[in-house]
Structure 1
Amino acid sequence: MFNVEHYNGTKEQNYDLLLKQLKALIEDEPDQVANLANASSLLNQFLDKVNWVGFYIWKQDQLVLGPFQGLPACVRIPSGKGVCGTAIAEGKTQRVADVHEFPGHIACDAASQSEIVVPMYKDGNIFGVLDIDSPVKERFDETDEKYIEQFARLVEQYI
């Protein structure tokens, strides 16, 4: 695997290569859990300065912890609560430069300083979220957001 900051291409080229790797990894596998697990692992290996990468799945009107890489995490998150719940409630990506400034932030890992959460859909319905935490403030920029959203859209095709 390669790291976005250590590969010789541009950041955009590195992300394009990541998306190709993701597709190759999950396109022939019908199992949802296997694809989410491999997607979180691939993204965790690709990104630097992250301490948690994973998925929460929408079940019975709440987000429930799914496959992830990192320390143990909050198991259930209601809609509208924290960054993940806000992403679901608003239906849009939440890129938070400083989680301590985010009203109602849920601190599953005290080391987390910034976060990006992308809502995901299947057949037009809420599926869950892709959640990435970093121990560095302002870790995620517009380029990261663009490509992490593309990553989530590609995962949606294989869940």
Structure 2
Amino acid sequence: MSFANQTLTGSKPEQYAQLLAQARALVAGETDRIANAANLSALAYHSLPDLNWVGFYFYDGNELVVGPFQGLPACVRIALDKGVCGAAARARQTQRVEDVDAFPGHIACDAASRSELVVPLVKDDRLIGVFDLDSPRVGRFDEDDQRGLEAIAQAFLESLT
């Protein structure tokens, strides 16, 4: 099955259903978190419009450490008390930020980022990391995006052993 340059069609929920099917196919039978994070980052980055960064940060027991991503070079380490990623990890709740300039403590790894969605990755009540998406457009992410990207994050978690 080829995943490159597939066009998503239909409503936004239908597009996310197509993307989720592609994500599940990519991780099927693979348990390596680096391989799966790399493929899912590339899938989302190349399938969804208006994104300038998509990737994973993994929790090392102390802080978040950058993992596979697509986009410009990123902040390597993020404390749990810093930025949108830290807030998602600390609260274990998705953070959907319309305007990152209005988010207290936002970390500007890429000055072009204007909105952000971060999904915490929690398995068996243990923090694994976060799935982070940035956009150069204010208000890029809505509830449909949040639900769709949370489902892709869940597919990633289900792939882990």
Place the TM-score, normalised by the shorter chain, in its bin.
over 0.9
Equivalence for 2:147: 146
Kindly state the Cα deviation for residue 32 of structure 1 after the two structures are TM-superposed: 1.6
- SS of alignment partner, residue 103 of structure 1: coil
Superposed CA deviations along residues 12-61 of structure 1, whole A, max 9, x for unmatched, are 11110111111111111122211110010001111100000000000031
Kindly state the Cα deviation for residue 98 of structure 1 after the two structures are TM-superposed: 0.3
2:92 counterpart letter in structure 1: G
Q: Is the aligned partner of 1:77 residue 2:78?
A: yes
For 1:146 and 1:18, the matched residues in 2 are separated by 12
For 1:80 and 1:46, the matched residues in 2 are separated by 31
Indicate the RMSD between aligned Cα atoms, in angstroms. Answer: 1.0
Equivalence for 1:50: 51
Structure 1 unaligned residues grouped into runs of 5+: none
Equivalence for 1:116: 117
Equivalence for 2:6: 2
For the 8 Å contact 1:80–1:88, the answer to whether it is kept is no
Kindly state the Cα deviation for residue 117 of structure 1 after the two structures are TM-superposed: 0.3
Equivalence for 1:99: 100
For 1:150 and 1:2, the matched residues in 2 are separated by 19
Kindly state the Cα deviation for residue 8 of structure 1 after the two structures are TM-superposed: 3.1
Bigger shift: residues 79-88 or 24-33 = 24-33
> How many residues end up aligned between the 2 structures?
156
Q: Is the aligned partner of 1:21 residue 2:22?
A: yes
Q: Is the aligned partner of 1:126 residue 2:127?
A: yes
For the 8 Å contact 2:92–2:122, the answer to whether it is kept is no
Percent of paired sites with the same residue: 51
Superposed CA deviations along residues 50-97 of structure 1, whole A, max 9, x for unmatched, are 000000000031000000000000000011210000011111000000
For 1:75 and 1:108, the matched residues in 2 are separated by 9
